[in-house]
């Protein structure tokens, strides 16, 4: 029984861990590594094992840093089952295809850039750039998904049984407990996936897991303490009212899946409570339109608050003055409009997509507000905004940041240090070791220390490619 950490090892993206058991290999997640373009491309394209050598993949949730490299695996010849929750599978239908479109566009962009460089005499750049994977690869991935209901143990391979629990991180997100058996030896291994927060909008709270021998746990906010979630509505309302009074726009970078729906839900509650007026709200993301439909379908996963709102008003994601925009021309028309409004758009970390146009057009106007609602990884434009840099580069143009920048820490989909410590408590009885993944080094160091202090447990922060024998 051996674990090898191939991704989200001392970083926050590209979640992928390999479990070797009875001569068979399974992956826990197969996420896209996101970082500098060239490095990310190389790392995602060259899997550290033959794709065909993998027998199965167990997926924690639909976020692209946990699923986004599945099509590369399939392109390489993987044909085994990909086990996930029903909502994760429904979301992946749209998210993997969307990711493939982005890969194709990225390849086109690089080919054009290379043409320019070749014209200038640089003949080392290739003429044709192949995308990491195509829409066809993504479509070939989808039939491999197998749906697994929560808390129902399921045999995956000889000696490998899987059982999932609600992780409270996004719609359909799971943590999993794997029961392993090899040569008469039995062990249990828990994998947290991403752990959510209690009282987040829409999703239910993270479920407790049973005691296990080993735990692989995320540590995104291992060095942080979030503000209490109860204050988020008032803070959001204050920010909206203040911006509208100035006659400004609110530009909100948000993941199309999860954060966008949470924001719409919160706006719905605030309007119902008359804490904010009805005002024009645009969700400018084709992916958000399709995935919001998945949210509407999986009402069984809603928490009580969302069920209550749905019972009272019908669709929790519909508002009188809310428009979902898919059309590019409508998206561009927002640039010319001077009307105070809120524009929610992706990508969540401001690295690509329509949000860049909205930021370019609005970032230098002090009437406007940039509302940050999620985690921003190092080196992203979103992180530069959080860090309040006086100017930022968008599409190669240096722009002064004059808009107000507000951060809603409360909405984080990830548990903070205290919440992670509490979440892991039931697992710790008999726990032999914790492996910390999915965190930047400073967060992991703090989380490691906190676990050692509270639970006196050995902790490993594995490096990429590090293997550990489970015994």
| Residues of the shown chain interacting with Zn ion in the complex, contacts defined by CB under 5 A | 63, 194
| Closest distance of CB 221 from Zn ion, Å | 12
Between CA 49 and CA 407 the distance in angstroms is 40
Secondary structure E strands in 41-133: 54-58, 82-84
Q: 62, 71, 52: which is closest to 142 by C-alpha?
A: 71
User: Is the Cβ of residue 175 or residue 334 nearer to Zn ion in the bound state?
Assistant: 175
Token representation of residue 417: 């240090």
Between CA 159 and CA 189 the distance in angstroms is 13
Q: Are 136 and 74 in contact (CB under 8 A)?
A: no
Between CA 152 and CA 162 the distance in angstroms is 8
Instruction: Give the relative orientation of helices 286-297 and 86-119 as an angle to the nearest 10 degrees.
Output: 170
User: Is the Cβ of residue 298 or residue 360 nearer to Zn ion in the bound state?
Assistant: 298
User: Is the Cβ of residue 93 or residue 259 nearer to Zn ion in the bound state?
Assistant: 259
| Closest distance of CB 184 from Zn ion, Å | 36
| Closest distance of CB 174 from Zn ion, Å | 11
**DSSP string across 264-282:** HHHHHHHHHTTSS----EE
User: Is the Cβ of residue 194 or residue 419 nearer to Zn ion in the bound state?
Assistant: 194
User: Is the Cβ of residue 192 or residue 290 nearer to Zn ion in the bound state?
Assistant: 192
Instruction: Count other C-beta atoms under 10 Å from residue 303's C-beta.
Output: 16
Residue 453 φ/ψ, nearest 5 degrees? -70, -45
| Closest distance of CB 30 from Zn ion, Å | 14
For 63, residues 6+ apart whose C-beta sits below 8 A from its C-beta are 31, 170, 194, 255, 257, 258
Instruction: Give the relative orientation of helices 232-246 and 259-272 as an angle to the nearest 10 degrees.
Output: 80
Between CA 326 and CA 286 the distance in angstroms is 4
| Closest distance of CB 169 from Zn ion, Å | 6
User: Is the Cβ of residue 194 or residue 410 nearer to Zn ion in the bound state?
Assistant: 194
Between CA 304 and CA 311 the distance in angstroms is 10
| Closest distance of CB 119 from Zn ion, Å | 42
User: Is the Cβ of residue 342 or residue 437 nearer to Zn ion in the bound state?
Assistant: 437
| Closest distance of CB 369 from Zn ion, Å | 26
Q: Are 316 and 306 in contact (CB under 8 A)?
A: yes
In terms of DSSP bridges, do strands 214-218 and 185-191 run parallel, antiparallel, or are they unpaired?
parallel
User: Is the Cβ of residue 63 or residue 357 nearer to Zn ion in the bound state?
Assistant: 63
Q: Are 360 and 398 in contact (CB under 8 A)?
A: no
| Closest distance of CB 62 from Zn ion, Å | 8
Q: Give the nearest residue (CB) to Zn ion.
A: 63
User: Is the Cβ of residue 63 or residue 354 nearer to Zn ion in the bound state?
Assistant: 63
| Closest distance of CB 32 from Zn ion, Å | 12
Between CA 12 and CA 44 the distance in angstroms is 14
């Amino acid at each position: 029984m051996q674990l090898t950490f191939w991704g989200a090892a001392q970083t926050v993206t590209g979640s992928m861990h390999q479990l070797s058991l009875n001569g068979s290999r399974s992956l826990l997640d197969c996420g896209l590594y996101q970082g500098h373009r060239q490095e990310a491309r190389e790392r995602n394209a060259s899997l550290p094992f033959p794709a065909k050598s993998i027998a199965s993949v167990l997926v924690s949730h639909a976020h692209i840093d946990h699923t986004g490299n599945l099509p590369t695996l399939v392109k390489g010849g993987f044909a085994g089952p990909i086990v996930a929750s029903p909502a994760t599978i429904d979301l992946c239908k749209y998210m993997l295809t969307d990711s493939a479109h982005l890969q194709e566009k990225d390849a086109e962009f690089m080919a054009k850039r290379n043409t320019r460089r070749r014209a200038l005499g640089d003949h080392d750049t290739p003429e044709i750039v192949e995308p990491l994977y195509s829409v066809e690869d993504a479509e070939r991935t989808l039939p491999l998904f197998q749906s697994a209901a929560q808390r129902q143990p399921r045999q995956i391979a000889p000696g490998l049984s899987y059982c999932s629990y609600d992780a409270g991180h996004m719609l359909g997100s799971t943590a999993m407990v794997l029961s392993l058996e090899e040569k008469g030896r039995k062990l249990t291994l828990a994998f947290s996936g991403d752990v959510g927060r209690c009282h987040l909008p829409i999703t239910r709270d993270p479920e407790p897991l049973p005691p296990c021998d080993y735990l692989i746990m995320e540590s995104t906010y291992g060095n942080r303490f979030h503000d209490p979630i109860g204050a988020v509505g008032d803070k959001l309302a204050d920010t909206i009212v203040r911006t509208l009074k100035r006659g400004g726009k609110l530009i909100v970078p948000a993941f199309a899946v999860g954060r966008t729906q949470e924001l719409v839900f919160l706006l719905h509650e605030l309007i119902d409570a008359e804490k904010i007026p009805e005002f024009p709200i645009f969700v400018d993301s084709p992916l958000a339109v399709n995935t919001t439909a998945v949210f509407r379908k999986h009402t069984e996963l809603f928490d009580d608050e969302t069920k209550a709102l749905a019972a009272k008003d019908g669709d929790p994601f519909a508002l009188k003055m809310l428009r979902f925009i898919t059309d590019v021309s409508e998206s561009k028309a927002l640039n010319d409009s001077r009307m105070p409004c809120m524009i929610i758009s992706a990508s969540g970390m401001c690295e690509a997509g329509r949000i860049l146009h909205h930021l370019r057009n609005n970032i230098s106007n002090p009437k406007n507000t940039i509302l940050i609602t999620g985690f921003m990884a190092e080196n992203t434009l979103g992180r530069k905004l959080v860090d309040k840099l006086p100017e930022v580069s968008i599409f190669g143009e240096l722009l002064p940041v004059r808009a107000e920048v507000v951060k809603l820490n409360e909405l984080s989909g990830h548990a903070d240090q205290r919440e992670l410590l509490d979440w892991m408590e039931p697992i710790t009885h008999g726990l032999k070791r914790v492996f910390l993944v999915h965190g930047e080094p400073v967060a992991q160091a703090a989380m490691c220390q906190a676990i050692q202090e509270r639970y006196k447990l050995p902790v490993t922060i594995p490096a990429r490619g590090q293997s550990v024998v489970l015994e």
